[in-house]
Amino acid sequence: MAQTEIEMTDELEPGTKLLSGQYTITSFLNSGGFGITYLAKDSLDRTVVIKECFPEAICRRTATTVRARSQAHVTSFEALVESFVEEARNQSKLEHPNIAGVHQVFKDNDTAYMAIDFVEGNDLLDTLEERDDIRPEEVDKWLRRVLEAVGFIHAQGMLHRDISPDNILINKDGEPVIIDFGAARSHADKSDRVVTLLRAVKEGYSPHELYVQGGRHNKYSDLYSVGATFYHVITGAAPISSQERVSCVAENQPDPYVPLAGSYPEYPKELLESIDRALSLDPSNRFANAEDWRVSLGSSSSFADMILQNLSKETEAPLEQINDTIVVRESAKGGGIGRIALALVVLAGLVGGGYFFLAAGSPTEDAVVAETPSAADPAPEPKVEEAQVQTEATKPAPRDSADRVDDTPPAAVEVAEVGAASEPASEAQISPAVVEVDWTITSVNKPLVPFATSSSEQPEGTFSMVTMVRSNIGDATQDWLSSGSIIYAVNGNLVVDDSTIQQALVSAAEGQSDDRVTARLKIKTSAEASITEHDLTILLAQVVKMKSGLQFTVAPGSSGRFVSRVTDVPEGLVTDLRAGDTLVSEAVTGVEFVTRAGLVTMFEKLSAQNAETAQLTIARDGALMGVELTHTP
């Protein structure tokens, strides 16, 4: 029995020796999807932190030795151990006063370890629980220091990807120190399938792009986590989950995020607004880098000036008026019904949802680097669309040149004689040109697979192993469907990877008028389990394509509503639409895009009315705008 308990224990026991006795484990600290951390003593009796590579989803421990859970996991486990070693070496180069240093990496027990500086202090979570006297100026200092450290990490070509209050310590000198790089990756490895299998996601602190396999993550992803961390510091709780926010917006509901700006008068407006911006759902609306954020905070002296100014105002006011003064100051900082109403309108325009938000190709990432032409210089016609691409920090430039072209009367009208109108015109001159209107479209169903897989060698051959379950899509919350499950067949078709699963589901979806289809899966919940059969409901998106190649996707949401979005714009196609635009309504036909049939109905009505253009209202970059869509020439 004792032996069984040892085999089933994930953590190393106190007293365990590592690296031929150079390190001795003294206690367990924490564990996560990537590894386990311990306190230890080195050979000089100094306290250090030991991080062990222990990806629990694919490995287990026998005594002290760590091994892959099954033969199918061996390759992934070995690759992750090597990656752990390489990243530890990279982290050892991060010499910064606000980053815990890595001073040794080694292999033992068939896995890898890194020795990290021990930082005496409490993490931010404990600090918030133990102290009720945290001053705003302390928070301001902590944020600036963390941004300096994160900027330093990014400058080395790395991402942290796991910033949260429990991964920031406040040392005995009151300085924040970033710890636990268990999820850190270099930019070059961001598509690593092994890492995707074990992606670190923390509710409330992770941006939506980390929830989705293949989702783009960059500096702005770390900055979202920094924003969420300091949102917690200020409010006492983590912000609402980015997944929940995305789901609401995708269903045309207001973003439930509650902005800080206007609600905490003891903090500088710039600090609160910067955190709100870092927590934008759309990555292009966040700060491009940590330095931009730090600069937006202004100088630290401005914080002291604000405090002195507030103290002066409160000293001058009679005691009975102080509460009123605070209320007025809060309103003056941008709070109130007007700001809230505007925020709801703007946030309602943001669109995306779990899988769909990123499946559109993250078009806004291009907007981050695009340069907006000056409104004072008329842009040549080929650059009109380029002028519409906006960085987050720039207000949309007025389309001066386009407006002038539309509003200026033709030269012939200006010089025509009044009497000319009375002259008889020939038949050829007065007959309107015949325009052939073509609104032809194709429409197919696209299964929204609520899980991702990779090929896995099994005793019976190569089949699909589930690496991620997307709980926000359809009927994925099943006890029998989880990471590590082996899928052998879908509707009787043998499957070996994502593409063969998609093919089997596409066949089942052909001709379906409903928004879902039922699939029969042959599956093993683990390598040791028996093969069983289960039914899984798969949601269907509708992909609508015009002859020009312009493509739309209609995706189901909750409460019976649907979201219609532009998902592909062919290169060279002249149109004001962009990938990622969400369709709201169309004026010529009166169609509102809230049903599955809405988009197809619009095209049918446009064709029946022989309309040359559609007048669309779309949501883009947090705002509503009108766009004209022309039929296929």
Q: What is the CATH number of domain 138-350?
A: 1.10.510.10
Cβ neighbours around 509 below 10 Å, total? 19
Give the pLDDT of residue 107. 95
Q: What is the 3-state secondary structure (H, E, C) of 542-593?
A: EEEEECCCCEEEEEECHHHCEEEEEEECCCCCCCCCCCCCEEEEECCCCEEC
**Residue 170, SS3 per DSSP:** strand
**Segments of the chain assigned to CATH 2.30.42.10:** 442-539, 543-630
Give the pLDDT of residue 426. 41
**Does 403 score more than 80 pLDDT?**
no
| Average pLDDT taken over every residue of the chain | 75
Give the pLDDT of residue 327. 32
- Based on its alpha-carbon atoms, the radius of gyration of the chain, rounded to whole angstroms, reads 29
Kindly give the residue spans of alpha helices, DSSP state H, lying in 440-568: 498-509
* Residue in 549, 568, 563 with CA at minimum distance from that of residue 598: 563
**What is the pTM assigned to this prediction?**
0.48
Is-contact 396 388, C-beta < 8 A? yes
Give the pLDDT of residue 428. 41
**Segments of the chain assigned to CATH 3.30.200.20:** 1-118
Helix (H) or strand (E) holding 613: strand 613-620
Question: How many whole angstroms separate alpha carbon 257 and alpha carbon 429?
Answer: 60
In tens, the pLDDT along 158-177 reads 888 889 998 999 999 999 99
N-term to C-term CA, the chain? 78
Give the pLDDT of residue 170. 95
443 is written with which tokens? 């429409």
Tokens 């986590």, residue located: 225
Query: 269-303: string of b/e by CB count within 10 Å (b at 16+)?
Result: bebbbbbbbbbbbbbbbbbbbbebbbebbbeeeeb
Give the pLDDT of residue 474. 57
Q: Which of 3-12, 113-122, 567-576, 601-610 has the lowest mean pLDDT?
A: 3-12
Task: Identify the CATH assignment for 442-539 out of 3.30.420.280, 3.20.20.120, 3.30.365.10, 2.30.42.10.
Answer: 2.30.42.10
Helix (H) or strand (E) holding 35: strand 35-42
Cβ neighbours around 569 below 10 Å, total? 20
Cβ neighbours around 436 below 10 Å, total? 9
**Segments of the chain assigned to CATH 1.10.510.10:** 138-350
* Residue in 415, 286, 417, 282 with CA at minimum distance from that of residue 350: 282
Is-contact 510 497, C-beta < 8 A? no
Task: Taking residues 286-306, report their average pLDDT.
Answer: 78
Q: Which of 130-134, 135-139, 393-397 has the lowest mean pLDDT?
A: 393-397
In tens, the pLDDT along 33-79 reads 678 999 999 999 999 999 999 988 889 999 999 999 888 888 878 88
SS3 content of the chain, % helix, strand, coil (to 5): 35, 25, 40
> Which one has a higher pLDDT value, 572 or 299?
572
Give the pLDDT of residue 127. 93
Give the pLDDT of residue 481. 81
Question: How many whole angstroms separate alpha carbon 581 and alpha carbon 558?
Answer: 20
* Residue in 420, 484, 474 with CA at minimum distance from that of residue 449: 474
Task: Identify the CATH assignment for 543-630 out of 2.30.42.10, 3.30.360.10, 3.40.50.720, 1.10.1370.30.
Answer: 2.30.42.10
> Which one has a higher pLDDT value, 94 or 381?
94
**Residue 248, SS3 per DSSP:** helix
* Residue in 590, 574, 571, 586 with CA at minimum distance from that of residue 618: 586
Task: Taking residues 273-290, report their average pLDDT.
Answer: 94
248 is written with which tokens? 């609401």
Model confidence band, residue 557 (pLDDT cutoffs 50, 70, 90): low
Residue type, 511: G
Question: How many whole angstroms separate alpha carbon 255 and alpha carbon 575?
Answer: 29
Give the pLDDT of residue 154. 92
In tens, the pLDDT along 139-152 reads 999 999 999 999 99
Q: Which of 111-120, 174-183, 205-214, 327-336 has the lowest mean pLDDT?
A: 327-336
The alpha carbon of 50 is separated from its chain's Cα centroid by a whole number of angstroms, namely: 31
Is-contact 508 544, C-beta < 8 A? no
Kindly give the residue spans of alpha helices, DSSP state H, lying in 25-176: 74-91, 124-130, 136-155
Give the pLDDT of residue 145. 96
Question: How many whole angstroms separate alpha carbon 86 and alpha carbon 185?
Answer: 10
* Whole-number Cα distances in Å, 211 to 183, 187, 245, 465: 14, 17, 13, 18
Question: How many whole angstroms separate alpha carbon 552 and alpha carbon 360?
Answer: 10
Q: Which of 54-58, 237-241, 621-625 has the lowest mean pLDDT?
A: 621-625
Question: How many whole angstroms separate alpha carbon 56 and alpha carbon 75?
Answer: 15
Cβ neighbours around 197 below 10 Å, total? 23
Residues 6+ apart with CB under 8 A from 525: 480, 482, 484, 485, 532
* Whole-number Cα distances in Å, 42 to 15, 33, 114, 521: 12, 26, 12, 52
**Does 359 score more than 50 pLDDT?**
no
**Does 544 score more than 90 pLDDT?**
yes
Question: How many whole angstroms separate alpha carbon 360 and alpha carbon 285?
Answer: 17
Model confidence band, residue 512 (pLDDT cutoffs 50, 70, 90): low
**Does 576 score more than 80 pLDDT?**
yes
Residues 6+ apart with CB under 8 A from 302: 268, 270
**Does 526 score more than 80 pLDDT?**
no
DSSP string, 148-162: HHHHHHHHTTEE---
Q: Does domain 1-118 fall into CATH 3.40.50.970?
A: no
**Does 90 score more than 60 pLDDT?**
yes
